Amino acid sequence: MASEEAKDYVLPPEVLEETVRASEELWKPVKKVKFRIYKYNPKKDYAPHWEEHELEVSKGMTVLDALLTIKGEMDPTLGVRYSCRMGLCGSCAMMINGKQMLACQTRVLEAAGDGDVVELRPLDNFPVERDLAADFTHFFEKHKSVKPWIIRSDEVELNNPTGPYKQTVDEYARYYQFTDCIKCGACLSACPTAATDYEYLGPQALAQAYRYMVDTRDDGLDVRIAVVDTEHGCWRCHFAASCSDVCPRGVDPAQGIQLLKRLIIKRKFGYKPHKPAEALPAKVKAESKSGG
Amino acid sequence: MEAESGYREYYARNMRGISGWFKVRAYTIERWLYAAHRITGILIVLFILAHFYSTGWHPGLWWDALLGVVVTFHVANGIRLILAELGLAIGKPLLIKKPSQRPVSIEGVQRYLVVFALVLFIVLAAIWAYYALVVQSMMG
Ligand code: SF4
Ligand code: SF4
Ligand code: FES
């Protein structure tokens, strides 16, 4: 029986051949690329310096692959931060040829273009931890300052929930786009305001503030306005839109910030985007349960 | 020793400073417009200060035309910015994203606003220059 089932899954020889050929193609060395890498340890070095390494790269090789090869074979002291290697954890954002990108999502040949040099620096406008790794402490503090969680006044329901809060698809669509943020810091790094204002809350935190303010389950509109409608808050944004340009997750923080400004202006005239959603009544719950 | 720690702090903070406002390479046209808006804004402030100090100084008619370019750019792009910052023409948040989704606030309707602002700038600048160079000189 096992062999019969297995037979169904054998690829036709021509497909198998094509698959093998395609993957060989992906990992075949194409050309030599020179990596210019920023080296700096603020605890020890007086000033940063550059180091260069040459590597045979293939079509499928990402910048992170290259960095790990360099770390493994040429320079074990290289400081680089990564975790998931698939664009989900937000650890590996850096300046690749002058633009904020995820090292694990950028192929070397793509970054090099027609040239054969790839220059790597830590994220602009972030303190340097070591070499290519930036210090995110301040960035995370900014995110935390906008209270990125559901704020409610019905404490009894919150602590002993009788059911999920009601939300329609349209209501969900108001904020879904912003939930994709992986806190990679690329947006804050690209923002021209952040280049001169260390305390600027930044696109990431402001877009997240908006994300919670228009969530129908949330009741924290005024609490968050007190945080973002400030000297270093949303009015420092002048719509250069570079944050959205570099965001690897299509979060579009520039859009969030402009919508946030609009919301604050409307709030000054007494507008509220929603009443905090109620918990679903027990009857609906029972029906949906029996329904499957 | 003090200078040394100053250097160290400078590199450790890694802030681009004012040059960061003008780091336009690799970004979209909105970033160029941002940089131009900054420069024209600063020039207008400088002009007003100089104007307060002395209204008599005037190197020639071309000076008025140049001022026109600066002011009309700031006005035309300013209209675009006011609309965008009021949340207009920047699209709605998406429910479904394509695999490599480009931001709607940049590459959606807002791009028409960019074109509108640039056209408006050229028209206004041309009118201003016409008055400054032709009409003014006819009036002596
Ligand atoms: S908004 Fe985009 S660029 Fe900014 S931290 Fe989130 S995922 Fe990164
Ligand atoms: S749109 Fe605002 S937050 Fe985004 S890069 Fe521009 S100034 Fe910064
Ligand atoms: S390693 Fe996780 S995003 Fe690149």
What's the fold here for domain A8-134?
Answer: Ubiquitin-like (UB roll) (3.10.20)
Give A96's strand partners.
A99, A120
Q: Are A71 and A80 in contact (CB under 8 A)?
A: yes
Starting from the CA of residue A125, give the closest ligand.
Answer: 2
pLDDT tens digit string along A229-269?
A: 999 999 999 999 999 999 999 999 999 999 999 999 999 99
Asked if residue B14 is part of any domain, the answer here is no
Domain ranges across chain A:
8-134, 137-268
Taking 70 as the threshold, does the pLDDT of residue A68 lie above it? yes
pLDDT tens digit string along A88-131?
A: 999 999 999 999 999 999 999 999 999 999 999 999 999 999 99
Asked if residue B53 is part of any domain, the answer here is yes
Taking 90 as the threshold, does the pLDDT of residue A77 lie above it? yes
Higher-pLDDT residue of A66 and A291 is A66
Residue A187 CA to ligand 2 center (angstroms) comes to 8
Q: Are A175 and A239 in contact (CB under 8 A)?
A: no
Cβ separation A99–B12 shorter than 8 A: no
Distance CA A40, CA A20 (A): 42
* Residue closest by Cα to atom 3 of ligand 2: A203
- The number of distinct structural domains making up chain B is 1
The alpha-carbon gap from A194 to the nearest alpha carbon of chain B, in Å, equals 8
Distance CA B78, CA A208 (A): 27
The alpha-carbon gap from A19 to the nearest alpha carbon of chain B, in Å, equals 23
- Measured CA to CA in angstroms, residue B31 lies from A259, B18, B25 at distances of 19, 14, 9
Least confident of A91-95, B42-46, B57-61, B82-86: B57-61
Cβ separation B94–A172 shorter than 8 A: no
Backbone torsion region of residue A250, taken as left when φ is above 0, otherwise alpha when ψ lies between -120 and 50, otherwise beta: left
Chain mean pLDDT for chain A? 92
Distance CA B127, CA A120 (A): 47
Residue B27, chain A, CB below 8 Å: the answer is: yes
Residue A216, chain B, CB below 8 Å: the answer is: no
Distance CA A257, CA A236 (A): 10
Asked if residue B11 is part of any domain, the answer here is no
Copy the structure tokens of residue A287.
């029906």
Distance CA A141, CA A124 (A): 18
Write the ipTM.
0.91
CATH 3.30.230.10 fits A137-268, yes or no: no
* Residue-level pLDDT at A290: 53
* Residue-level pLDDT at A286: 55
Asked if residue B63 is part of any domain, the answer here is yes
- Measured CA to CA in angstroms, residue A158 lies from A153, A169, A224 at distances of 8, 22, 20
Domain that holds residue B123: 20-139
* Residue-level pLDDT at A292: 42
Starting from the CA of residue A258, give the closest ligand.
Answer: 2
- Helix (H) or strand (E) run with residue B42 in it: helix B29-53
Asked if residue B82 is part of any domain, the answer here is yes
**CB contact set of B76 (below 8 Å; sequence gap of 6+):** B117, B118, B120, B121, B124
pLDDT tens digit string along B26-45?
A: 999 999 999 999 999 999 99
- A contact test, residue of B2, B4, B27, B74 with most A CBs within 10 A: B27
Residue A94, chain B, CB below 8 Å: the answer is: no
Stated pTM of the model? 0.90
